[in-house]
Amino acid sequence: MPGRLHIVATPLGNTGDCSPRAREILASADVVLAEDTRRAGALFTRLGIARKDGAGFISFHDHNEAERIPRILTGLAEGDQVAVISDAGTPLISDPGYRLVAACREQGFEVTPIPGPSAITAALSAAGLPPLPFTFLGFLPRKSGQISRLLATHKETGCTLIFFERKSRLSETLALANEILGSRPICIARELTKDFEEFITGNLGALQEMQLDLKGEITVIIGPPEAGGVSSEAEVLEVLGEEREAGGKPKEIAHRATARLRGFTAKMVYEMMRHS
């Protein structure tokens, strides 16, 4: 057979989600490209997939993708069946690989997707937020200024936003999202398809009411601004008056008020409090 590159989706956690077609390709491939070859070996063991004689794993990640491509293309030219997997889910979506696919297309090698699990579609399908249109942001940048600029570019699109986040940065990132995007519905999907799968819903304007000290793999879905247009200044002042009566520190009052308003960020409401 002529060489072919197979993009193979693997389970997020539940091994029952591995399709028969994916199993067949992984068992028969001459080479499997994996982010972490040890994790790949453990996955094959859990799935009960036996590698054929002479077949091996090759590490393939952000730091070595460019140097690996010529070797892979040579193998394809010799007829290799090559499978690409990520640590979990669908490869390339938030992982390396698109340069390899582009190189294969340029050289005339067939590239075949073997569809299956994806944290993006799994989270979106069960979040209870508008699914279309949506924008996937991958892992957010490391620095808060970069995150702010990225979110600001999507503020007016009306899209549902989806991204992956590390548990250690979740609270900080969502607080920043509230400042940039304002009060919006949110869903945090944790440990998708695993024993401790959990969906936590709430609002960016009321983060203090949400449990954000979480463990495991986290996917964040932020819905578009809620229907009904932007709250008027009179509405803002009325809500602020009610929240002031309830008591609390100014920033706490601003966050509570933001959760009840449309089109206002906590920072905007806080500034209005200072001048009213």
How do residues 58-110 score in pLDDT, each as one tens digit?
Answer: 999 989 999 999 999 999 999 999 999 999 999 998 888 999 999 999 999 99
pLDDT of 273: 84
DSSP assignments along 43-104, one per residue: HHHHHTPPPPTT-EEEE--TTTHHHHHHHHHHHHHTT-EEEE--SSBSTTSSSS-HHHHHHH
Q: Are 49 and 20 in contact (CB under 8 A)?
A: no
Cα distance between residue 50 and residue 42, in whole Å = 12
How do residues 189-199 score in pLDDT, each as one tens digit?
Answer: 999 999 999 99
Task: Identify the CA nearest to 189 among candidates 223, 222, 219.
Answer: 219
Global model pTM greater than 0.85: no
- Local structure of 136: helix, strand or coil: strand
In the chain the first and final C-alpha atoms are separated, in Å, by 75
Task: Identify the CA nearest to 85 among candidates 18, 7, 30.
Answer: 7
pLDDT of 53: 74
What share of the chain has pLDDT > 90, as a percent? Answer: 67
Q: Which residue has the tokens 């793999």?
A: 217
Q: Which residue has the tokens 């578009």?
A: 224
